[in-house]
A = this chain, B = another copy of it.
Amino acid sequence: MARFAAAVHIVTTDGPAGRFGFTASAVCSVTDNPPTLLVCLNRASRMHLAFQRNGVFCVNTLAADQQELAAMFAKRTGTRMKARFALPIWEMLKTGAPAVRHALACFDCRISDVKEVGTHWVFFGEVMEIHLQRRNSALLYLHRTYRALEMVRPK
């Protein structure tokens, strides 16, 4: 699956079960009506319980200069969850799941459905709020390496 070039996202949650986040490329838009996307999360991760209990998540699509953040939430640095969320980069949209202020896009979602598939959970989220930024390049992941892709200039 490393041959798929994919955008890189940090997916977060917050609520009674705590504040968590992870780096994901297995994110996909599903439908516009109602606006829905999905996120896959390994069941081996304890985080899935928190996502389910909180019932909300925010998908933060990263810009090319946010590679360090991607590495941090992919557990490639030793930074603990609490310290990650102490960085001065977070804001809150409708659901309360942490949004990355300078991400390309934040999709703030309420979990509408959950499906177990093999080793993973698939969370379907109805988009409650979208926050877009004008940034010049997107962060991509291809062949297990981060890459930058320049954006087409908005008209």
Q: Which residues of B contact A138 (CB under 8 A)?
A: 3, 5, 142
A119: contacting residue among B33, B38, B132, CB under 8 A: B33
A117 CB–B CB distance under 8 Å: yes
A38: contacting residue among B28, B42, B104, B152, CB under 8 A: B28
Residue of B nearest to A104 (CB): B3
- Quote the shortest CB–CB distance from A44 to chain B (angstroms): 10
- Quote the shortest CB–CB distance from A102 to chain B (angstroms): 13
Which of A10-18, A68-76, A84-92, A143-151 faces chain B? A143-151
A7 CB–B CB distance under 8 Å: yes
Residue of B nearest to A140 (CB): B5
Taking beta carbons and an 8 Å cutoff, which residues of A are in contact with B? 1, 3-7, 26-38, 40, 42, 61, 104-105, 113, 115, 117-120, 122, 124, 132, 138, 140, 142-143, 145, 147, 149, 151-152, 154
